[in-house]
Structure 1
Amino acid sequence: MRTLHRSVVVKRELSRKAKLSIYRSIFVPTLTYGHELWVMTERTRSRVQAAEMSFLRRVAGLSLRDRVRSSAIREELGVEPLLLRVERSQMRWHGHLVRMPPGRLPGEVLRVCPSGRRPPGKTQDTLERLCLSTGLGTPGDPSG
């Protein structure tokens, strides 16, 4: 990512439109590879948002010292928050899992009920919180 910063974002010869095109076609897919399966803890959310805003600030020609809000930068550049996109995609993947017919491994993994104790705060807790906050019910429950 540093190479991308040095070779593209800080170049004054490239237009803002070209930099945003690179953001959408290279930076976002690289940063969010495999995001459907991420556990979105606060630390993960913070890191994704920091990387995203670092790139967008450079594209806008700003630094942290300019003290411009992230929302203002996104609005100026016409970019939606990356975390929103990640959450939407995770919910889409969850919908696929819930609708999978019995016998498909990913769906079975979602519906499995392990016996015994497990460490607190794993994926299921986070997924339940996300589903409940969006009004979709509990994960794995087809009536949802």
Structure 2
Amino acid sequence: MDRISRCSRGGGGLQFGGLRIAPLLFADDVVLMDSSVCDLQHSLNRFATECEASGMRISTKSEAMVLCRKPMDCPLQVGNESLPQVKEFKYLWVLFSSKGTMEREMGWRIGAAGAVLQSLYRTVVTKRELSQKAKLSVYRPFSFLPSPLVMKDGS
């Protein structure tokens, strides 16, 4: 995948300040970025050509997402297949949104942390066999979160 990406690079990528952001690779996933739909289609075509030369192809399950404050269409094609455009997707446990906002991601993370605390409460705090010191040592790493933990003496 690294070789395919290196060979398919032309002028692709984004300029951000003085930095150039190249395509991102992780396992068999690729993120192509460009400043215009036309440039992105060109980069996608180069990438598809290099994939084919290596005996690989771009999956028809691939999706396109535009990061922009204003909604816009980005009709991309691989061969004669159109890529569906999505408004958000989750990758490596992170929710990406086309508007670049993080409200839903933060809500999901807070909910996940709450579920962990609730599970700890059920499995640790309610156990009479454990000392208060043991129970507090489990909760101490979460001290930055508001906790529903209320202990009585001797519990």
Q: TM-score range by the shorter chain?
A: 0.3 to 0.5
Structure whose residues are more often strand by fraction: 2
Q: What's the TM-score once normalised by structure 1's chain length?
A: 0.33
Q: What's the TM-score once normalised by structure 2's chain length?
A: 0.32
The higher-RCO structure (CA 8 Å, 6+ apart) is 1
Structure whose residues are more often helix by fraction: 1
